[in-house]
Structure 1
């Protein structure tokens, strides 16, 4: 590959020579630290089966909605780029991505793909139409070797903890097998479909939950059914419960009113206002259960899922058409915090894609409530410049220790080390500036850099 060029070892670090030297030292101290991945979407079945990845397109393109959304915006054929799932001709799909790869110049997606090709496969040749087949063949050859099977990569990436995201009725057999073999792959309780009466699957999921647990179809019985499944997750090593909501809204209802709303929802008779109230009360109840069983409660809020109805009908969810919304936490979560915010057992991690809330809401909340942690930059914000803005927005109010540490939140297994490395470099750059401005000593910055990749996430997620 004659056009190969080495990745800049100082990428993402400051341009100023003095600050770059400081940042380089801080980064080197954490560059090879083990990865803690307390929230993500890599399935446990991938590691349990430990089978070779199919081909470069299946691994790096299909299902990566970070990638497919911008290709779709440029007019690429949705079927060709894998929005519908498996593709007819993986090599031609790869060529299409390569032909349009210039679209990703300056984007986090482009940076991560280059990091994966370089860091995982040792390929530094720029991806374009001319190099597409060479790179495809090189990746395919690597994937055929034992060193590139999932478990070998897990060890190579130094992932000490990997959390998956799982349906409450999952039997978690894959997790039990992996844990018996010494791998810390933890399930995460994700009850969204059982808490949102506006969801098309709510009635069916609720009925299945009640049938599986044998509890009555009352509000108290429904809560008991959820408690039983949470206990199943705790017994299989879970340390968090994750909630993806459009709005972070909670409300404290009287038991009789909560039961009335549930009955109407189960009969399909409830209106939008009733559904909102039931959804908000169930979210508050989840906080109470986290106080009881110790599961860290994470709330990922503020995304309009499936913005394109036509795309949803044709290709389904998680195909690149989720769009951020303005989000407000202070009033919406006040009922939850009034009831549970001072409970010593509650850890509440708040994630948003609305940057305006970082300094206005999340940092002040985390700067007072012992239970609240500021979630890391997430989704559209998990990029170098956005991470720097996040640090500037929250640090002066909440410091470095009221956060969760970085989370990769990814389905793309091979991108995990690239994403964590991005955060480590961005944090080293930010800390170097504080040292250069006399706001931190070298020793203080070194401790913070180390804690951000270890002590901070261990504390927030009770690892």
Structure 2
């Protein structure tokens, strides 16, 4: 192992090496390497993610390697859970004290299970590029690697702000509750010692889904906070007021994590009736679905009016395992993809707003079948629609290549969003963006070899994918 302040390549085939993820064919690889080298150190623009802004505000040393690289990353904990390891043994039970070294040993003991996975690749990238250690963990090396990383984390160069600068992050967006006061964002923006840009993102899911147990309480708090009356008009006005607060604090987008992207345009009377029934706890499943569809339509209308980019992340059955939810809470690795339909579900929204100037709608999916069948054709016609980057289970090397192939022939490169890391794991941000840059370079290199794109155009597109495109799509 080496000095943790440097980032050597462990070997020519490591996740951080020059040729990782590049094509096997020597001629194509040479072009891909040329394209990648031109953007490898470009600033990172991360317009959608889940890092807590207090991490940068407080700028405290990370506690230990296990909490940093395992417990806080549900990509990692879900893989270990699939091997029969209790989530509580990985530090996810706040009522239990688990030795962090024991958690790390569990990772080392099961390291081979991560071979070929995106999470394994990212972890290997982090270990080799940030800490200079051989990422081939096993039981014999576990304690030695743990001590090496723990020693690095105690150094000032491994504090969150120092890493933010080292990673070259220019913009980092968080995901926030509508009633959040956003004080960490205000404090960071006002701090002359912090040059980064950390933006809030409006996420209203818990306030627009009547089937959620917390809906009535959330809406009541929303109305109280804004002084609006308990009518549908008051409810909508309250949401608009909170959006305005987010915009004043620098927000550029509103994110919507829906099971299905249904949109419905209801008249005022029908909307009022559904709202009152929802607040009385008397709305059935069909009524709740209709209400959600109308609120997604309303969110689009608000984005047209206030300019927030509208991102839609559908197609995930949240908290698939009830007992795990009860014991460990949400976002603990058991959210599972379902089929998604966009064309008919979005038609009311697009009929109303699809060609309105200034409206930006970014469509994501974890259902690969929807990319070429629906999302790319929609983005290839409607000026408001952009193809969201591969998300969640698809933000992996092979899946990113499949995504590029599925959408580019119909929508091109410039109707896509740029890469979105969508992560809670702060240290994985550069690994994820580096993965996308390598894969996009590989895809472009193939087009050059096949005579479908000139090398000069490939260089221009490669640069735009990491800079111009995300800036334009997210109005940065």
> TM-score normalized by structure 1?
0.98
**Partner residue in 1 for 2:56:** 47
- Spell out structure 1 runs of 4+ moving beyond 4 A: none
**Partner residue in 1 for 2:92:** 83
The CA deviation at 1:125 is 4.3
Equivalent of 1:437 in 450, 462, 472: 450
Equivalent of 1:314 in 316, 327, 335: 327
The CA deviation at 1:315 is 1.2
**1:158 has 2:171 as partner:** no
**Partner residue in 2 for 1:179:** 189
**Partner residue in 2 for 1:329:** 342
**Partner residue in 2 for 1:17:** 26
The CA deviation at 1:130 is 1.3
- Write the mapping of 1:52-451 to structure 2, written as runs, cut at 5 A: 52-85=61-94, 87-181=97-191, 182-451=195-464
The CA deviation at 1:277 is 0.6
The worse-fitting range, judged by mean Cα deviation, of 339-348 and 359-368 is: 339-348
The CA deviation at 1:342 is 1.1
Q: Deviations over 1:297-333 (max 9, x none)?
A: 0000000001111111111111111100010000001
The worse-fitting range, judged by mean Cα deviation, of 312-321 and 404-413 is: 312-321
Distance in 2 separating the partners of 1:400 and 1:5: 33
Q: Check the 8 A contact 1:81/1:87 in 2, yes or no.
A: no
Distance in 2 separating the partners of 1:462 and 1:148: 31
Partner of 2:89, secondary structure, is coil
Q: Deviations over 1:49-90 (max 9, x none)?
A: 000000001101113111111211111132112332575200
Q: Name structure 1 gaps, 5 residues minimum.
A: none
Q: Check the 8 A contact 1:81/1:97 in 2, yes or no.
A: no
Q: Name structure 2 gaps, 5 residues minimum.
A: 3-9
Distance in 1 separating the partners of 2:313 and 2:339: 13
Distance in 1 separating the partners of 2:385 and 2:403: 17
Partner of 2:292, secondary structure, is helix
| Count of aligned residue pairs for this structure pair | 462
Q: Deviations over 1:266-312 (max 9, x none)?
A: 01011000111111101100001001110000000000001111111
Q: Deviations over 1:203-254 (max 9, x none)?
A: 1000000000000011111110001000000000000000000001010101
Distance in 2 separating the partners of 1:87 and 1:56: 16
Distance in 1 separating the partners of 2:294 and 2:107: 45
Distance in 2 separating the partners of 1:77 and 1:189: 33
In 2 relative to 1, CA 283–125 (structure 1 residues): closer, same or farther, beyond 3 Å?
closer
Partner of 1:245, secondary structure, is coil
Partner of 2:416, secondary structure, is coil
Q: Check the 8 A contact 1:98/1:128 in 2, yes or no.
A: yes
Q: Deviations over 1:99-130 (max 9, x none)?
A: 00110000000000000111111212411111
Q: Check the 8 A contact 1:324/1:354 in 2, yes or no.
A: yes
Partner of 1:301, secondary structure, is coil
Q: Check the 8 A contact 2:297/2:349 in 1, yes or no.
A: yes
> TM-score normalized by structure 2?
0.96
Distance in 1 separating the partners of 2:348 and 2:416: 22
Distance in 1 separating the partners of 2:299 and 2:237: 11
Distance in 1 separating the partners of 2:397 and 2:343: 27
Distance in 1 separating the partners of 2:365 and 2:448: 29
